[in-house]
């Protein structure tokens, strides 16, 4: 799903940042190297959605679209770095993330674990900030006409605000005294993922193609719907996934008491009395399997899979209305086949 022009633009942005870091010192260079590493290994579906929308709507701003696509990837990287920090994770895609890398460096210098962790967290905050700043600057100088650039910056601003609200809600709802409703949980999913991962690239591609306001608005709605579907599927991977394939922990969501629709639904079933014993703490492999079995027995896994199908179908209808190929959504939703089998397993 990678696009050469977007990858080249991303490499230029990261290279320029590293070149500036060389004038500061080796520690800053190491920070940029870690940021570059954090951009590697993803599927680049956000730039793909932007470029595909731009092309499908007859756009002629290929160079600007590539720059904005690279900005999207940096925005995503910033959110990933900060999200790992919030969740206390030191691994991403099967290797040390920014936090873990700098903490390990500190330990190799014989710092104690508390100081090493502090150093790692500091590096992660700063790397995420650098990625955000670089993303916004890339949009500002992307080369599109000034009115379009202003609209793009507005879109990025909305995406930032909405995603920040979703991340904060995610943490708030995970507090042990909070009991999220399904509506609250789905709203959090929409804010956290739908805004910047789907609505933003679809609408940015449309703006760069010169689409009318109604088309841009409909694509925003489609993005919100498919964003929820994507996050719901990611929630399933976060419990039923194979970490070797997904690069994501299969116990993290349960350990941190994430109030995903999967857990919110399970809480309303008779199995919760049993299942609750496996939420909010570390699990060994046998305990994880027991939790999975209970989530299947409760019907919660099948319930979430059904929701995914409904949201995708509604998003497809909106894409049909504006004349965009629906295969774009299928490819964007095609996360690694990381789900384990069993009754109610996703297709």
267-300 per-position pLDDT tens digit: 999 999 999 999 999 999 999 999 999 999 999 9
- Domain containing 67: what range? 1-43+59-143
Q: Is 221 domain-assigned?
A: no
- The verdict on residue 218 lying in a domain is no
pLDDT band at 315, cuts 50/70/90? very high
Asked whether residue 95 is assigned to any structural domain, the reply reads yes
Domain count, the chain: 1
* Confidence at 1, pLDDT banded by 50, 70, 90: low
Using DSSP's 3-state secondary structure scheme, residue 199 falls into: helix
Residue 100, domain member (yes or no): yes
Whole-structure pTM value = 0.91
Domain membership of residue 305 (yes or no) is no
Q: What is the DSSP string of 248-298?
A: S-SSHHHHTT---HHHHHHHTSTTHHHHGGGSSS---HHHHHHHHHHHHHT
H-state helical runs in the chain: 4-22, 26-38, 45-56, 62-87, 98-108, 113-140, 146-174, 182-189, 200-208, 213-240, 243-246, 252-255, 261-267, 272-275, 285-297, 300-322, 327-333
Has residue 133 been placed in a domain?
yes
Q: What is the CATH number of the domain that holds 94?
A: 1.10.600.10
Instruction: Tell me which of 86-100, 156-170, 286-300 is least confident.
Output: 86-100
In a domain, 152, yes or no: no
Domain presence at residue 171: no
Indicate if the pLDDT at residue 347 is higher than 70: no
Q: Report the pLDDT value the prediction gives residue 150, as an integer from 0 to 100.
A: 98
Per-residue buried b or exposed e for 142-164, using 16+ beta carbons within 10 Å of the residue's own CB: bebeeebbebbeebbebbbebbb
Scored b (16 or more CB within 10 A) or e, 27-40 reads ebbebbebbbbbbe
């Amino acid at each position: 799903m990678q696009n050469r022009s977007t990858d080249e633009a991303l490499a230029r942005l990261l290279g320029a940042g590293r070149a500036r870091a060389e004038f500061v010192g080796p520690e800053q260079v190491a920070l940029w190297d870690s940021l570059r590493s954090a951009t590697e290994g993803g599927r680049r579906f956000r730039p793909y959605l932007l470029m595909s929308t731009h092309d499908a709507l007859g756009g002629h701003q290929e160079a600007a679209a590539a720059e904005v696509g690279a900005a999207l990837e940096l925005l995503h990287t910033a959110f990933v770095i900060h999200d790992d920090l919030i969740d206390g994770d030191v691994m991403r895609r099967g290797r040390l993330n920014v936090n873990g890398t700098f903490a390990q460096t500190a330990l190799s210098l014989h710092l104690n674990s508390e100081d090493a962790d502090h150093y790692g967290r500091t590096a992660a905050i700063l790397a995420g900030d650098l990625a955000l700043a670089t993303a916004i600057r890339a949009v500002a100088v992307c080369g599109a006409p000034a009115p379009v650039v202003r609209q793009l910056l507005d879109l990025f601003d909305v995406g930032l605000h909405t995603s920040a609200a979703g991340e904060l809600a995610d943490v708030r709802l995970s507090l042990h005294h909070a009991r999220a409703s399904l509506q609250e949980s789905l709203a959090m999913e929409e804010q956290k993922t739908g805004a910047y991962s789907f609505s933003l690239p679809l609408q940015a591609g449309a703006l760069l193609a010169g689409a009318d306001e109604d088309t841009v608005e409909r694509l925003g709605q489609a993005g919100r719907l498919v964003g929820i579907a994507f996050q719901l599927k990611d929630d399933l991977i976060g419990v039923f996934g194979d970490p070797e394939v997904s690069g994501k922990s299969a116990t993290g969501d349960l350990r941190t008491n994430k109030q995903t629709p999967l857990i919110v639904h399970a809480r309303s079933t008779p199995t919760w009395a049993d299942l609750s014993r496996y939420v909010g703490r570390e699990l060994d492999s046998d305990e994880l399997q027991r939790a999975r079995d209970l989530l299947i027995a409760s019907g919660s896994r099948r319930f979430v899979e059904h929701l995914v199908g409904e949201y995708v179908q509604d998003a497809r209808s909106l894409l049909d209305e504006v004349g965009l190929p629906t295969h774009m959504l299928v490819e964007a939703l095609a996360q690694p086949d990381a789900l384990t089998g069993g009754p109610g397993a996703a297709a």
